[in-house]
């Protein structure tokens, strides 16, 4: 996989993936950015949510669960000193469906965190990772 990142002026950068998708990242106005896009550290958490969400949805669909929606709320804490890496990350899954099996939802969230989500496995090297879920009847 190859990613290209090109400066767009001031503190903004545009990243292009090997599949041609583009994302604009920018710094906050307090450090000279123009707030045109998410910060790079926010992008890490967005990637974590996407990776975990894909895992959970795929496992529930494979398990013949009638899933209608999956949302992940991610909260985090960062170190006070530079580099200000993530020290704590919590994922809260909101899984909506019809007659969802709680054991299957729990297992899907657990397997994503402990085995399948590459982003989660990488971030756990510096951050205390935790997760929980709630099931919402459609």
What confidence tens digit (pLDDT) does each residue in 12-66 have?
999 999 999 999 999 999 999 999 999 999 999 999 999 999 999 999 999 999 9
Q: What would the mean pLDDT of 73-89 be, rounded to a whole number?
A: 97
pLDDT at position 82 is 95
The domains found in the chain, sorted by start residue, are 1-37 (2.20.25), 40-137 (3.30.300.20)
Cβ neighbours of residue 82 closer than 8 Å, sequence gap 6 or more? none
Q: What is the rounded end-to-end Cα distance, in angstroms, of the chain? A: 38
DSSP 3-state assignment of 51? Answer: helix
Least Cα distance to 34 among 8, 65, 60 occurs for: 8
DSSP codes, 61-125 = HHTT-EEEEEEEEEEEEE-SSSS--EEEEEEEEEEEEES--HHHHHHHHHHIIIII-HHHHHHTT
Chain-centre distance for alpha carbon 91: 8
**Is the Cβ–Cβ distance between 61 and 101 less than 8 Å?**
no
84-134 pLDDT, tens digit each: 999 999 999 999 999 999 999 999 999 999 999 999 999 999 999 999 999
Return the structure tokens found at 123.
Answer: 């971030």
């Amino acid at each position: 996989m190859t990613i290209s990142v090109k400066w767009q002026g001031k503190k903004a950068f545009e990243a292009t993936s090997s599949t041609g998708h583009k994302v604009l990242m920018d710094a906050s106005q307090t450090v000279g950015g123009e707030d045109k896009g998410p910060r790079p550290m926010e992008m890490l958490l967005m990637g974590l949510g996407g990776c975990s969400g894909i895992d959970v949805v795929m496992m529930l669909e494979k398990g013949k669960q009638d899933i209608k929606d999956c949302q992940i709320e991610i909260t985090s804490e960062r170190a006070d000193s530079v580099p200000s890496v993530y020290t704590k990350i919590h994922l809260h899954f909101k899984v909506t469906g019809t007659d969802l099996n709680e054991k299957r939802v729990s297992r899907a969230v657990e397997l994503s965190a402990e085995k399948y989500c590459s982003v989660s496995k990488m971030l756990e090297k510096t951050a205390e990772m935790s997760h929980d879920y709630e099931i919402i009847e459609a």
